[in-house]
Amino acid sequence: MTEITRRNFALAGAAAAFAPQAQAKLAPLTPGIKISMQVDESVTGEDLTWIKQMGVDYLNVQTGKGRGTLANFLDIKKRVEAAGLKVWNISNNDNRNIEEITLNLPGRDAKIEWLKQYIRDTGKAGIGYITYAHMANGIWSSPAEATRGGGTARAFKMETAVGSWNGKTYPNPLSHGRKYTKEELWDNYTYFIKQIAPVAEEANVRIGIHPDDPPVPELGGIPRHMFGTFDGYIRALQLANSPNIGVCLCCGTWMEGGKSTGKDVFEAAKAFAKMGKLWKIHFRNVTAPIPYFVETYIDNGYTDMYKLMKTLVDADFRGNLIADHVPQMGTGRQAGWSYSMGYIRALHQAALAEKKRG
């Protein structure tokens, strides 16, 4: 049997396993894309007014260290809803990129138990989604560079990149003192997801797994084969075997990977949507695939973002969509984010109109 034949067989099996009837216990998402704004939990009333003025209805809220509690979730939700907006998810840097879990380091079980409680509290707060990322040594970046007009943006070159997450840095060549094998990481993921998936099901919370950023074969001696390729995602979702475990497709990260991911961003979005596993989109652009890229304005990268929006509309994507990693524009936050959110809403409206015309 050829490798192509094996791969096609695996994908066919995945499509069957993730068919809508296999997810009957999970309430379907309501129709339409939920365009959302990212904010910190300290968001002001003035900011909430600005967000409403942009025509945005949903928020993704980031909390600080030690703030991932039910009481805080309920307080955030109350403030947001009082302003006429809705909370899609509440994130915390402690609930993803957990090296103890990914690498089976001391303290793994305690971290898993903490995450279980985070999921339960999310469900109790009436919030139906969180994002999880499985990177062991953070997001890797090089010194920031200028994008169009001199805006400051994240860049990546393998020879100068360093990993970082939650106040910790991870250097090359070995971020954790040795090389790890792919099967070690699969074993660790399996141990983790078999405990987490039942909790997500009980709490009625979807978990969307974010791609490895950047999706290169190895960083700091640690493979990035699970969430750096399409086939890796398929295997991970099959191991989870749960209606509540799905995909947060960071399109910018997927664009960074280019051909190495196995499917381009349009193909990946269509495939995950067909499986009923696509729940969140990070809608951003980059200048080129690896080995070198700079994050840039939404209309200034190598990907046709209208084609991507049309892909999502045509696939009946019903999840959450955010602008992400927005480069600096002007001196404050509002200019760059207003530009991105306005551009996103215009693309969405144009795609809906084209679909209606047939």
pLDDT score for 26: 87
Average pLDDT over every residue of 211-225: 97
With 0-12 CB in 10 A as exposed, 13-18 as middle and 19+ as buried, what is 239?
Answer: middle
Average pLDDT over every residue of 278-292: 98
Whether the full predicted model's pTM is greater than 0.85, yes or no, is yes
| Better-predicted residue by pLDDT, 82 or 10 | 82
Residue 99 has pLDDT above 70, yes or no: yes
* C-beta separation of 29 from 6 below 8 A: no
pLDDT tens for 133-159 read: 999 999 999 999 999 999 999 999 999
Copy the structure tokens of residue 126.
């009436």
Of the pLDDT bands very low, low, confident and very high (cuts 50, 70, 90), residue 22 is very low
3-class secondary-structure state, position 176: coil
pLDDT score for 332: 84
Give residue 51's Cα distance to chain centre: 21
Task: Give the C-alpha distances (Å, rounded to integers) separating 226 from 35, 158, 188.
Answer: 28, 20, 12
pLDDT score for 14: 56
Residue 233 has pLDDT above 80, yes or no: yes
pLDDT score for 7: 47
Copy the structure tokens of residue 239.
């191991």
Rg of the chain in Å (alpha carbons):
19
Average pLDDT over every residue of 169-195: 97
Residue 315 has pLDDT above 70, yes or no: yes
Query: 14-28, 92-106, 289-303: which range is least confident on average?
Result: 14-28
Overall residue count recorded for the chain in this entry: 358
The domains of the chain are located at 32-352
pLDDT score for 333: 87
CATH fold for the domain made of 32-352: TIM Barrel (3.20.20)
Residue 4 has pLDDT above 90, yes or no: no
Residue 9 has pLDDT above 80, yes or no: no
Average pLDDT over every residue of 72-85: 97
pLDDT score for 23: 46
Number of Cβ within a 10 Å radius of residue 105 = 14
* C-beta separation of 129 from 137 below 8 A: no
Copy the structure tokens of residue 296.
């840039």
Copy the structure tokens of residue 128.
């139906």
* C-beta separation of 56 from 344 below 8 A: no
pLDDT score for 131: 98
Average pLDDT over every residue of 218-237: 97
Of the pLDDT bands very low, low, confident and very high (cuts 50, 70, 90), residue 5 is very low
* Residue type, position 3, single letter: E
pLDDT tens for 33-75 read: 999 999 999 999 999 999 999 999 999 999 999 999 999 999 9
Residue 20 has pLDDT above 90, yes or no: no
Residue 97 has pLDDT above 90, yes or no: yes
With 0-12 CB in 10 A as exposed, 13-18 as middle and 19+ as buried, what is 298?
Answer: buried
* C-beta separation of 221 from 174 below 8 A: yes
Could you tell me which residues come within 8 angstroms of residue 42 by beta carbon, excluding any fewer than 6 positions away?
Answer: none
pLDDT score for 18: 56
pLDDT score for 358: 85
